[in-house]
Structure 1
Amino acid sequence: MSSAAANLDFAAPRRRTLSPEGRRVKQKKIFDIGMYDGSDSRYFLDEGYHVVAVEANPELAAKAMQEFQDHIADGRLTVLNRALADEPGEIELVLCGDDLGASSIFEDKIAHRNPSGTCTVQAVTFPELVGEFGVPDYVKVDIEGADRHCILALNPDNRPQYLSFEADHDLEELVMHMASIGYQRFKLIGQCSFLELGNERGLANRFKHRMMRMMGFDQPLRVRRAGRWFQLMHSSGPAPWASDGEWYSVETLLSKWNHARQNDQLMGWYDVHAC
């Protein structure tokens, strides 16, 4: 029996898609920066949003253009084969042999993951995206170590209402910048469960994982959150207005993050959600 992942599903109670203030969300435009295999873009499209998807890897971008050709044709999706960076021009993308979606503009980010070569791609900055497509309602960023190029380009005039990015060694620097430009509410969402950091340690979730290990598996393939199924390792999970858990201040976020790191309580990797 494989120990990688089980074809089992963990469900959470269905709930309405609400903003933190309890109102139905009416976002219209989303930037999906780090499209990967299109799982997040498909979720956003299914929810009725217009999507601008940025994918640096030429092979993945080409596949997305084929798979989503109907959405592209009707104007609801734009796919850009670009690498988000801090300045325009050309940039080298290091290809990951283990997972094309893990390719990065930082060689050291994938040095341990069988790098298989490089290719030159066009870079795009976040201000350039805003200049062409306008300020979005939500930006999802997952670009293998380059998330900071997007976050630090945000200011009070171009920041989206909602934002998510992958937590890394520079988390404190990035969330303090976010707080300085107006973000007030934050969450840490586990990407191996799509649960808020504190809820991952709950009795029910620990029991589920214990049962999985007893059956010889590390984790389920999918989990049910916010009324739909999300595939682990492919999706970023529910958007911030529908994600698990309570919102908290930047000070509380940093306290939770540092406590979990110091006490070896992190379960995989995490995204920061903010509004």
Structure 2
Amino acid sequence: MIGGLKAGIGIARSLLVYHGLPWRVMAMRRFMRELVGPGALAFDIGAHAGNRSLALAKAGARVVAFEPQPAFFAILERIAAKRPIEIRREAVGGRAGRVTLRISNRHPTLSSIVPGWPDRIGSASGFEMVEWDEEIEVPVVTMDSLIDQYGLPDFVKIDVEGAEAEILGGLSTAVPLVSFEYLPAAMDVADRCLDRLASLGTYEFNLVVGENQRFATKLWMSLADFRDYLAETSQSGSSGDVYARLLAASPRAESEEPQS
């Protein structure tokens, strides 16, 4: 009963935050229209409550959304009805198989497949009261296998609580536009993501801080300049999303083994 109450509170909070604030919903939709056009293919990895998938679909994109949490998969099923959104109850990682998903029922946005993630992040500022109170096994697919199935996406959004670098490690083809979440408490993950993207091609970078749904600067930056900018920005304690826009692809790289 207590677990069910926690889960209900967590789901209600996510629905309110991601669907219940009209100004935030409209800002997300405007921003997604800037990034993708009709007919684009987008992967929403860590789709959660589906606000990003819905905004991408309304921008005219064909969306493949990944969400292994059962409660949010059910929400996505309703959102995807009669829309160009395919939902998959899988995690994406560095190699195919199965993995343990640690779920925080009260704070479901913080659920993660990264071993040791609750111990690592739980002591960081703002995470002290988070409890990861459920575990389930979920299937894992790789980016390379998804590209083999669907073709090269125009945009990939990754928000998976610490597994961003593992996902990019399972990618050996440069994607035109990628976003991944960064957390000030785990900037090494962002560094690994930047390293992996640099191995796939020449990218330029920008940043969205928090839920602003607009780029932090008008000018996109080179990798070297962006590393300094991201390090400085992260000192404010705010999380956000890194955006990487492809300028030129490198020869096909080998997928990496996931790192724990």
TM-score (norm 2): 0.71
Q: Does 1:105 align with 2:119?
A: no
Letter in 2 for 1:151: L
Whole-Å Cα distance in 1 between the matches of residues 160 and 195 of structure 2? 20
Kept after mapping to 2: 8 A contact 1:176/1:250: no
1:87 corresponds in structure 2 to: 95
Letter in 2 for 1:63: I
Aligned residue runs from structure 1 range 1-275, under 5 A:
25=37, 28-71=40-83, 76-111=84-119, 112=122, 113-155=130-172, 158-167=173-182, 168-197=187-216, 245-261=218-234, 264=235, 266-275=236-245
**Aligned with 2:188: secondary structure?**
coil
Whole-Å Cα distance in 2 between the matches of residues 260 and 49 of structure 1? 31
1:186-205: per-residue Cα shift (whole Å, max 9, x none)? 012102433444x6xxxxxx
Kept after mapping to 1: 8 A contact 2:164/2:189: no
Shift of 1:83: 1.0
Whole-Å Cα distance in 1 between the matches of residues 237 and 214 of structure 2? 11
Unaligned runs of 5+ in 1: 200-244
Unaligned runs of 5+ in 2: 1-16, 123-129, 246-260
> Given the superposition, is the C-alpha separation of residues 248 and 26 from structure 1 closer, same or farther in structure 2, using an over 3 Å criterion?
farther
> Given the superposition, is the C-alpha separation of residues 132 and 102 from structure 1 closer, same or farther in structure 2, using an over 3 Å criterion?
same
Question: Which protein has the larger Cα radius of gyration, Structure 1 or Structure 2?
Answer: 1
58-67 vs 167-176, greater mean Cα deviation: 167-176
Residue identity (%) = 23
> Given the superposition, is the C-alpha separation of residues 15 and 246 from structure 1 closer, same or farther in structure 2, using an over 3 Å criterion?
same
Kept after mapping to 1: 8 A contact 2:100/2:136: yes
2:3 corresponds in structure 1 to: none
Whole-Å Cα distance in 1 between the matches of residues 69 and 31 of structure 2? 35
Higher RCO (CA < 8 A, seq sep 6+): 1
2:256 corresponds in structure 1 to: none
Greater share of residues in helix: 2
Aligned length: 210
Shift of 1:9: 5.3
Kept after mapping to 2: 8 A contact 1:36/1:101: yes
Q: Alpha carbon RMSD of aligned pairs, Å? A: 2.8
Kept after mapping to 1: 8 A contact 2:91/2:139: yes
**Aligned with 2:224: secondary structure?**
helix
**Aligned with 1:140: secondary structure?**
strand
Whole-Å Cα distance in 1 between the matches of residues 141 and 179 of structure 2? 19
Shift of 1:26: 5.5
